[in-house]
Each structure stands twice: as structure tokens, then as C-alpha cells.
Structure 1
């Protein structure tokens, strides 16, 4: 799977996990201390690092593995 496809897949899983938790992008941005634009980029498969994935997973209450499943 090409790198961009992987990033988009992970972004989609972030979005799904956020919504399943009942959080808006604004809620997640406040918890992470970033802008809503940053959260939108993460969910679009842009500008996230492994460290960011760990932070997102912690806030949402899921494992990092669940955010990268199928990759």
C-alpha cells in the first residue's frame, strides 16, 4: 500500500474512532491542544506523527493499534 494511502486509511480510522466516542473535531482539538484545522488534517491523512497518534489514541480512549489496523 502506498504511503499516502496508508496515511488516508489511518486518518479515516481516527475520524471513525472520534465519532464513535461522540467527540467533535473541536472537542478533540481542545483535548490535544491543537487547532480544529490540525485535527481536520490528521483525519485527512496529513501532518501527523507517531507521537500524535499516541496522543489521539489516549484522548479518544483507544489503542494505537486500532488506529493503524489493516495497514
Structure 2
């Protein structure tokens, strides 16, 4: 499996992948039951938690984008 480092230009696609991956997660949806709330809060939380990884060179993805 090929793994590549993600840069700032990959941030949007990486966050979109996370949003889609957790859209049906029971705990995430219990905390954020409305679609509008989920999108707003989940992106803010992910940006806070995962955002610094892009600047530090610590964000990675497989070659297929996962």
C-alpha cells in the first residue's frame, strides 16, 4: 500500500472524506443530530484537531485517497 503525505492543498478533500466517513456514526450523530449542525460543528472540530497536522507534515493518505 502506497502512502503519501498530504499538504495544505489536500486539506479540503481530506476533511470532506472525514465528513463523509462519520456522517452515519451513531455517536457523532447523537451529539450533532441535525445535518446542518453536523456539517458546521464536525468541520470546526476536525479543523481544530487535524488542521495542525497539515502544516506539520503529519497528515497522510493512501494512494487511493483514503
Q: Which structure ranks higher in relative contact order (CA pairs < 8 Å, sequence separation ≥ 6)?
A: 2
Structure ranking higher in strand proportion? 2
TM-score normalised according to structure 1 size: 0.35
TM-score normalised according to structure 2 size: 0.36
Higher radius of gyration, 1 or 2: 2
